[in-house]
Amino acid sequence: METPESFLPFALPDIGPEEIEAVAESLRSGWVTTGPRARAFEEEFAAHLGVPEAVAVNSATAGLHLALEALGIGPGDLVLTTTNTFTATAEVVRYLGADIVLADIDDRTMNLSATTVRQALAELDQTAPERAARLKAMIPVHFGGQACPMEELMAIAAERGLRVVEDAAHALPCTAGGQPAGTLGDVGVFSFYATKTMTTGEGGMAVTADRDLAARMRRMRLHGINREVWDRYVARSASWYYEVVAPGFKYNLPDPAAAMGRVQLRRLSAMWNRRRTIAERYLEAFAQDPRLILPWPVRPEDVHAWHLFVVRLVRADRDRFVEGMARRGIGTSVHFIPLHLHPYWRDRYGYRPEQFPVALRSYRQSVSLPIYSRMTDGDVERVIAAVFQALDEAEE
């Protein structure tokens, strides 16, 4: 086999001179914590999605935590989510002393569906009816940038009196029934981690139409103080005075990161177009190969963020395939190792691997291919050629 000329990473951020200049300008200004750029970023993000409130935070994990806290989730409560997610979605539930209830995924989309949620609810009602009353919220995760069936999930939430926090970490830009994902539940939380469709290095945004929830999240992201740092700074009188009204957290987004986020938001549509072009090329190239299950198409009126491009291998050994790709200098990843297989979640709730058979099978078959705006056409063709070769080698 010929030696690859260079390694193509699984993911890379798309940071150009505008981002660098915006961060430098923020540093030169002397205001390096949360300030006017974070405020402007919130306003621009809210306007972009058409939501009244956006609260900038230093990670999506922080945003999810704040959202559940603002909704009053506490010790003894239960929150339903998918097993096919990153541990952040679930760990925030434990921060609050509450517990999770996991549901399996739809085989086509790898997302929660009305069927899998109803199955999980039926099992909870049957096995622990006294605990079922403590089920307070649901966290749908828009896996890979494809929206969950929000209309159906919101209907179930209404039936059961559940609050809904959308984990929209992958979902920018992404729509469900033509509406932006993240704006359909009580709160939606986006991630600006380095690999996401736009990045601030680390960062996130919680959006909501509920001004009280937004006010609570703003307060709790900064120590439970009743005024923002920036407000104190610009206030004409008594700028030293503040009141602590709750034991809050330290989750604010610094201005240099917000400055980068503002540029990334302006470039989001162009970066997404490139991801979409790459996804279309992959779909075309792999369409005729029966050894691959390709991402399920979104509804015609909807948008896929293409944060991930996950293929599932029908007749090949996944681990050998990943090794074959690596030998050809191509980084891949696996999304996700289902939560119920991880020791902490498995042992806390006594989950068995087969308890969520679709997630288990999907996990064993899944590989995420590189998809990001900095990839050249040559990179994309290199991935495609490597996939066919690695498939031949890994066939069972």
Among 31, 45, 193, 282, binds ligand PLP (CB under 6 A): 193
**Quick check: 103 and 120 in contact, CB under 8 A?**
yes
Rank residues 57 and 117 by Cβ distance to ligand PLP and give the closer one.
57
Interface with ligand PLP includes 88 (CB under 6 A)? yes
**Quick check: 102 and 82 in contact, CB under 8 A?**
yes
CB 111, min distance to ligand PLP, A: 11
Rank residues 41 and 193 by Cβ distance to ligand PLP and give the closer one.
193
Interface with ligand PLP includes 169 (CB under 6 A)? yes
Calpha distance 295→309 (Å, rounded): 7
Calpha distance 174→168 (Å, rounded): 9
CB 167, min distance to ligand PLP, A: 5
Interface with ligand PLP includes 204 (CB under 6 A)? yes
Interface with ligand PLP includes 366 (CB under 6 A)? no
Calpha distance 171→139 (Å, rounded): 14
CB 142, min distance to ligand PLP, A: 8
Q: Which residue from 371, 315, 362, 369 is spatially nearest to 110, judged by alpha carbons? A: 362
Residue 316: DSSP 8-state: B
CB 86, min distance to ligand PLP, A: 4
Sequential DSSP letters for 137-171 = EEE-B-GGG----HHHHHHHHHHHT-EEEEE-TT-
Please state, in angstroms and as integers, the Cα–Cα distance from residue 70 to each residue in 97, 164, 219, 244, following that order.
Answer: 14, 12, 10, 16
Interface with ligand PLP includes 86 (CB under 6 A)? yes
| Angle between helix 17-29 and helix 255-286 axes, rounded to 10 deg | 170
Q: Is 196 an active-site residue?
A: yes
Stretch of residues binding ligand PLP (CB under 6 A), selected from 55-63, 93-101, 104-112, 214-222: 55-63
Among 61, 183, 362, 368, binds ligand PLP (CB under 6 A): 61
Calpha distance 208→186 (Å, rounded): 6
Calpha distance 181→145 (Å, rounded): 9
Among 22, 38, 49, 60, binds ligand PLP (CB under 6 A): 60
CB 38, min distance to ligand PLP, A: 16
Interface with ligand PLP includes 59 (CB under 6 A)? yes
Write down the catalytic residue from 136, 163, 170, 196: 196
Rank residues 49 and 172 by Cβ distance to ligand PLP and give the closer one.
172
Among 141, 369, 380, 391, binds ligand PLP (CB under 6 A): 141
Interface with ligand PLP includes 309 (CB under 6 A)? no
Among 89, 183, 200, 365, binds ligand PLP (CB under 6 A): 89
Calpha distance 172→189 (Å, rounded): 10
Tell me if the bond preceding 52 is cis, omega within 30° of 0.
no
CB 65, min distance to ligand PLP, A: 9
Calpha distance 335→10 (Å, rounded): 12
Rank residues 285 and 341 by Cβ distance to ligand PLP and give the closer one.
341
Going residue by residue from 228 to 267, which x/- string records binding to ligand PLP, judged by CB under 6 A? ----------------------------------------
Stretch of residues binding ligand PLP (CB under 6 A), selected from 84-92, 97-105, 236-244, 357-365: 84-92
Rank residues 71 and 387 by Cβ distance to ligand PLP and give the closer one.
71
Calpha distance 360→270 (Å, rounded): 35
- 25: Cα separation from own chain's centroid: 29
Rank residues 61 and 197 by Cβ distance to ligand PLP and give the closer one.
61
Q: Which residue from 42, 14, 25, 35 is spatially nearest to 271, judged by alpha carbons? A: 14
Q: Which parts of this chain interact with ligand PLP (CB under 6 A)?
A: 59-61, 85-86, 88-89, 141, 167, 169-170, 191, 193, 204
Residues tagged active-site: 196
